[in-house]
Chain A
């Protein structure tokens, strides 16, 4: 009887499911977790990537002084205006409007009312965060559906992993880096999975729940038919008001904001949405910032835009409140730096979990496939490099491009993103070339090492270029207490140190695997 047939059938089936779901979907799962980890500090990355937004925090904020004139000039005929108020993580006021089906944004210095120049970059909020929840795939919401599929797969991986792991409590703290590569990798994979199990379940489940209204769209269409667009409004308790199709003058939004603040008792404004701003039936929604609770429950006060009279106040109903609670658990809208850093660290540990899982698959099959002259493990190893280190390399390359590309370059933001995808493709081609070269090692150690070194160089370059191009070097930002910039530079430095240490370890570690068999390349040299 073989070892496999001795295993209970359920564990065998879960082992198979865990292995193959893992190897097939690990690239996408890693992308979601890596981009999500960066998104924890997306506003801080915005400051780093968009130097024009490095302004002082305003003492007070006025929509009428800072945003209204610019919106009237930039978007006079739109159906929606939007203004996100400054707060400690974002010192600028971000104004937005709908144009040709797309949402456009600009930044305003709320202290002076100055419209800041185009940033020329998507930054953390526009690139990394969007990548995290939609892979930048917009056609027919396909990105959201792909995310749902990846999230369900992640839940399957978690449950199957728990079932497969026989000695889950005995191995709770087991880590043996001195053992073979396969053993050490398995230990690290188990350790990072089991100790962070509550976080993994929480973050994955809440991620699916957040986009409930997108996944329910087909069902809503069946029930509501042509009234489907109103369904979400009804569920969320928004005040519906069709446009009058007559021009109207918007009353003082600042006065409405003051009324909203009085209605809340305490708290600050997150954003102001104005529907049909130049219409007689304009509606102004003032949303409270949910800084003091877990739930992403933005209490909203709505006003008649023309008169400034209050139309109503709505807080979420219990079912929506539950949705908002899960949203808050996932997106950290609250002010708690300790939790924000803990989420960041746990995100990085999750990336280690996914990467080690992929490596484990490769290591387990390398010796057997080498003997049989098969190449599948080489391709998976190359994909593992591109999926893990490659994503880091392309992110750092994008940060370097952010500093090197001229500010006046047309379509600068698009070119920045193209740099990311071009470098990412190169990080796949590189290990494939190494894999099928005559003198390569079967474990592609050299490819791992080279990409680790490249990432170290890119990280230091990004930090240095930021200091040279903007003058905001680490000592200055620490002295000024600008922790958004200082923190980003410190993380870049730390990643460079870790990457360099990893490269050194890869160079000095003596592998027990022999050079690749002549059976793969044909005759021996």
Chain B
């Protein structure tokens, strides 16, 4: 296991999970001038968010052990949410692009970190 890659995977998954939660919100999409989501697509976003946050937790525990992993996960998820929310009004395109990129990186970093 490579702790650095697993940590990166955990942080990326936390960011991507919070981004998915943010982008499924009807009021948030309205503020960003994005079209509203159908019920099924919105559910898809929520399920994706839950899975990403779960992956983030698993990666954190795999790196730091149960108590430290859970503590770090709670802290990094909260901080990711704050940074995401504060940066969105200044560049929706960049934040959305970064969120998509880190979501793609999550499994790569996780697999790389676990098997190396």
State whether A338 touches B7 (Cβ < 8 A): yes
State whether A198 touches B74 (Cβ < 8 A): yes
Across the interface, B67 reaches (CB within 8 A) one of A174, A175, A177, A293, namely A293
Known A175-B86, A177-B89, A195-B81: A343·B75 in contact at CB below 8 Å:
yes
**A172, A177, A294, A329 — which one has the most chain B CB atoms within 10 A of its CB?**
A172
**B82, B86, B90 — which one has the most chain A CB atoms within 10 A of its CB?**
B82
State whether B89 touches A336 (Cβ < 8 A): no
State whether B89 touches A173 (Cβ < 8 A): no
State whether B78 touches A173 (Cβ < 8 A): no
> Given the complex, which residues of B lie within 8 Å of A178, measured CB to CB?
89
Main secondary structure of the interface of B (DSSP, over half): helix
With A and B bound together, what is the CA distance between A174 and B28 in angstroms?
A: 7
Question: Contact mask A325-338 → B, CB, 8 Å, 1/0?
Answer: 00001000010101
Question: Contact mask B30-66 → A, CB, 8 Å, 1/0?
Answer: 0100000000000000000000000000000000100
> Given the complex, which residues of B lie within 8 Å of A174, measured CB to CB?
27-28, 31, 85
State whether B85 touches A173 (Cβ < 8 A): yes
> Given the complex, which residues of A lie within 8 Å of B90, measured CB to CB?
177
With A and B bound together, what is the CA distance between A518 and B75 in angstroms?
A: 50
With A and B bound together, what is the CA distance between A346 and B78 in angstroms?
A: 9
> Given the complex, which residues of A lie within 8 Å of B7, measured CB to CB?
338
Known A173-B22, A175-B88, A178-B89: A339·B82 in contact at CB below 8 Å:
no
Known A293-B67, A334-B68, A339-B68: A173·B84 in contact at CB below 8 Å:
yes
State whether B82 touches A199 (Cβ < 8 A): no
> Given the complex, which residues of B lie within 8 Å of A198, measured CB to CB?
74, 78
Nearest A residue (CB) for B74: A198
Is B21 at the interface (CB under 8 A from chain A)?
A: yes
With A and B bound together, what is the CA distance between A338 and B84 in angstroms?
A: 19
Is A300 at the interface (CB under 8 A from chain B)?
A: no
> Given the complex, which residues of A lie within 8 Å of B86, measured CB to CB?
175, 188, 191
**B18, B31, B64, B78 — which one has the most chain A CB atoms within 10 A of its CB?**
B78
With A and B bound together, what is the CA distance between A198 and B82 in angstroms?
A: 13
Shortest distance between the CB of A194 and any CB in chain B (Å) = 9
Shortest distance between the CB of A272 and any CB in chain B (Å) = 27
Is B71 at the interface (CB under 8 A from chain A)?
A: yes
Known A329-B71, A339-B71: A173·B76 in contact at CB below 8 Å:
no
Nearest B residue (CB) for A200: B78
Is A345 at the interface (CB under 8 A from chain B)?
A: yes
Across the interface, B22 reaches (CB within 8 A) one of A172, A176, A199, A342, namely A172
Nearest B residue (CB) for A352: B82
State whether A336 touches B64 (Cβ < 8 A): yes
Nearest B residue (CB) for A171: B27
With A and B bound together, what is the CA distance between A334 and B64 in angstroms?
A: 12
State whether B28 touches A346 (Cβ < 8 A): no
With A and B bound together, what is the CA distance between A171 and B28 in angstroms?
A: 8
Nearest A residue (CB) for B70: A294
Which residues of chain A from 255 to 306 have any CB-CB distance to chain B below 8 Å in the complex? 293-294
With A and B bound together, what is the CA distance between A172 and B28 in angstroms?
A: 9
Known A172-B25, A336-B64: A199·B85 in contact at CB below 8 Å:
no
Question: Contact mask A427-439 → B, CB, 8 Å, 1/0?
Answer: 0000000000000
State whether A294 touches B71 (Cβ < 8 A): yes
Shortest distance between the CB of A327 and any CB in chain B (Å) = 14
With A and B bound together, what is the CA distance between A514 and B35 in angstroms?
A: 39
**A195, A336, A342 — which one has the most chain B CB atoms within 10 A of its CB?**
A195
Known A173-B22, A174-B28, A294-B68: A346·B75 in contact at CB below 8 Å:
yes
State whether A196 touches B78 (Cβ < 8 A): yes
Is A216 at the interface (CB under 8 A from chain B)?
A: no
> Given the complex, which residues of A lie within 8 Å of B75, measured CB to CB?
199, 339, 342-343, 346
Shortest distance between the CB of A505 and any CB in chain B (Å) = 13
Shortest distance between the CB of B98 and any CB in chain A (Å) = 15
With A and B bound together, what is the CA distance between A198 and B72 in angstroms?
A: 12
Is B108 at the interface (CB under 8 A from chain A)?
A: no
> Given the complex, which residues of B lie within 8 Å of A293, measured CB to CB?
67
With A and B bound together, what is the CA distance between A345 and B83 in angstroms?
A: 11
State whether A342 touches B79 (Cβ < 8 A): yes
Nearest A residue (CB) for B75: A342
With A and B bound together, what is the CA distance between A329 and B27 in angstroms?
A: 36
State whether A195 touches B28 (Cβ < 8 A): no
Nearest B residue (CB) for A329: B71
Shortest distance between the CB of A188 and any CB in chain B (Å) = 8
Shortest distance between the CB of B18 and any CB in chain A (Å) = 8
> Given the complex, which residues of A lie within 8 Å of B88, measured CB to CB?
173, 175
Nearest B residue (CB) for A343: B75
Nearest B residue (CB) for A191: B85
Question: Contact mask A152-173 → B, CB, 8 Å, 1/0?
Answer: 0000000000000000001111
Is A349 at the interface (CB under 8 A from chain B)?
A: yes
13 extra interchain contacts, Cβ-Cβ under 8 A, other than A336-B72, A342-B79, A345-B79? A173-B18, A173-B28, A173-B88, A175-B85, A176-B31, A178-B89, A191-B86, A196-B78, A196-B79, A196-B82, A339-B68, A339-B75, A343-B75
- On B, residues with C-beta under 8 Å from A are 7, 18, 21-22, 25, 27-28, 31, 64, 67-68, 71-72, 74-76, 78-79, 81-82, 84-86, 88-90
> Could you pull out 28 A-B pairs where Cβ atoms are within 8 angstroms?
A170-B27, A172-B21, A172-B25, A173-B21, A173-B85, A173-B88, A174-B28, A174-B31, A174-B85, A175-B86, A175-B88, A175-B89, A176-B89, A178-B89, A188-B86, A191-B85, A191-B86, A195-B81, A196-B78, A196-B82, A198-B74, A329-B71, A336-B68, A342-B72, A342-B79, A345-B79, A346-B79, A349-B82
List the 8 closest pairs (A to B, CB-CB), nearest first.
A342-B75, A195-B81, A173-B22, A173-B85, A175-B85, A294-B67, A196-B78, A195-B82
- On A, residues with C-beta under 8 Å from B are 170-178, 188, 191-192, 195-196, 198-199, 293-294, 329, 334, 336, 338-339, 342-343, 345-346, 349
